[in-house]
Amino acid sequence: MKYPNGSQTSELMQTIQYILTPLEYLDKCAKTYGDIFSLRLIGFPPYVVLSNPQGIKEVFTAAPNLFYAGEANKYLPQTILGASSLVLIDGDYHQRQRRLLTPAFHGERMQAYGQLICDITKQVMSKWTIDKPFNVRSSMQDISLQVILKAVFGLDAGLRFQQLKQLLSSMMDVFSSSWSSSFLFIQTLQWDLGPWSVWGSFLRFCEQADELIYAEIRQRRNDPNLFGEDILSFMMTACDEEGQPMTDVELRDELITLLVAGHETTATALTWALYWIHYLPEVRESLLTELEVLRSNPEPTDVARLPYLNAVCSETLRIYPVTLFTFSRIVQAPVQIMGYQFEPGTMISPCIYLTHHREDLYPEPWCFRPERFLKRQFSPYEFLPFGGGNRRCLGMAFAQFEIKLVLATLLFHQKLRLVKFHRVKPVRRGLTIAPPGNLCLIPTS
């Protein structure tokens, strides 16, 4: 059987390098072994990294029962998501849950969140003081967390909203360093050693979040007047083909999945975008010129259509994609990809980062150049920050809309500059790759 080449160093060394210096390690492997290679990681099955668009197309367009992503995600901690979380299930059950959830993220429903996003952005901006640096990550996380909580729960500044906001922030902060991130990858580290330990504190945050979410579901079941325009109301009334609604456990699992998947990722993308816009004056100038055409309080849908803003967002997600990989897919039946034969149980991981750094697609891939996206249309197998196929990010349209509106609102209303003007390097933050946590901007008059 022909199998892709890969490093011969021990599993332990490969795992350490992958956790501590993921970009450097992936670049090194791609340089040595090409756009399909194998990795050996502790606790994982045979693992194949793919950054060839044709190979990625073969994975994304395969029948849904040929590759299982839910099974692959079980190698990541499930404590928080729950067994019926969309990201952990496969086959017919996955298709049913996706069908129930998808309408909440499309078309007119999306537009309804436009004003909400602009209002939350202005509210967060109002806390900044001229000439006083603020932490970009914290502010962007504040925005994305409030947006997702309000869109999902329709909750306003009540006690439960405040408690959930606090809890989700703390939960994500547990894994904010490379060291603490390793707890997510290495199951043997996942021991509850009390409330002050990394895993123990995470478990306690999860329990508290559960209580709050179940309390919200119970309250709504008891009082139908509480149903509104939010995603939870929509989920509680949606039924499958057999007329079956979601159970409370399914609701809880999907809700927490949306909250976790939706806020950290968007905050990371926003932080990167603000960094690039203020690191490269010509990018900021071009954006301001484009925005000037619109009035000072434009319709959200007009903002979302701006071509240069769209190109800046795409280039932000290209150069350092929020997640290095799409979900891995576990092969269910013998399959050939790019001439290699893979047996059931093999884990195939389309690598977003390496695909986005292919010189043949993106010349000088280390340079931030939004113009690439104005000159050329990339296929879904060449530009894939939201993954693809039957697992493509459910919140893609929501996230893109939010990022554009937040950036436009900030640029319209506040002049900013970087505190330290230098090229920053990405760091690992939980399962994502993000700018360093201490990145600061200064509002200027």
Of residues 181, 233, 257, 346, which one binds ligand HEM by CB under 6 A? 257
**Burial (Cβ within 10 Å: 0-12, 13-18, ≥19) of residue 210:** middle
The site string for ligand HEM over 83-102 (x = CB under 6 A, - otherwise) reads ---xx----------x----
327 binds ligand HEM (CB under 6 A): yes
433 binds ligand HEM (CB under 6 A): no
- Which two structure tokens, joined as six digits, stand for 109? 């429903």
Residues 52-71 that bind ligand HEM (CB under 6 A): 69
Closest CA to 404 of 294, 326, 320: 294
Which of the ranges 205-213, 291-299, 384-392, 413-421 carries the binding residues for ligand HEM, by CB under 6 A?
384-392
Tell me the chain's radius of gyration from C-alpha atoms.
22
Of residues 265, 310, 332, 409, which one binds ligand HEM by CB under 6 A? 265
CB-nearer residue toward ligand HEM: 10 or 115 = 115
Q: How far is the CB of 397 from ligand HEM (least distance, A)?
A: 9
370 binds ligand HEM (CB under 6 A): no
Strand (E) positions, 54-102? 67-68
Which of the ranges 19-27, 31-39, 361-369, 382-390 carries the binding residues for ligand HEM, by CB under 6 A?
382-390
- Which two structure tokens, joined as six digits, stand for 71? 């099974």
Residues 48, 52, 55, 60, Cα dihedral to 10°: 90
Helices 248-279 and 136-153, interaxial angle, to 10°? 150
276 binds ligand HEM (CB under 6 A): no
| CB half-sphere exposure, 25, CA atoms < 13 A | 20
CA angle 13, 203, 44 (to 5 degrees): 30
Of residues 385, 426, 430, 443, which one binds ligand HEM by CB under 6 A? 385
Strand (E) positions, 45-152? 47-50, 67-68, 134-135
Of residues 310, 326, 332, 349, which one binds ligand HEM by CB under 6 A? 326
The site string for ligand HEM over 393-432 (x = CB under 6 A, - otherwise) reads xxx--xx---------------------------------
127 three-class SS: coil
Residues 283-312 that bind ligand HEM (CB under 6 A): none
Q: Tell me, rounded to whole angstroms, the distance of Cα 128 from its chain centroid.
A: 26
Residue reference for tokens 């319209």: 412
**Which residues are at the interface with ligand HEM (CB under 6 A)?**
69, 86-87, 98, 148, 257-258, 261-262, 265-266, 269, 322-323, 326-327, 385-389, 391-395, 398-399
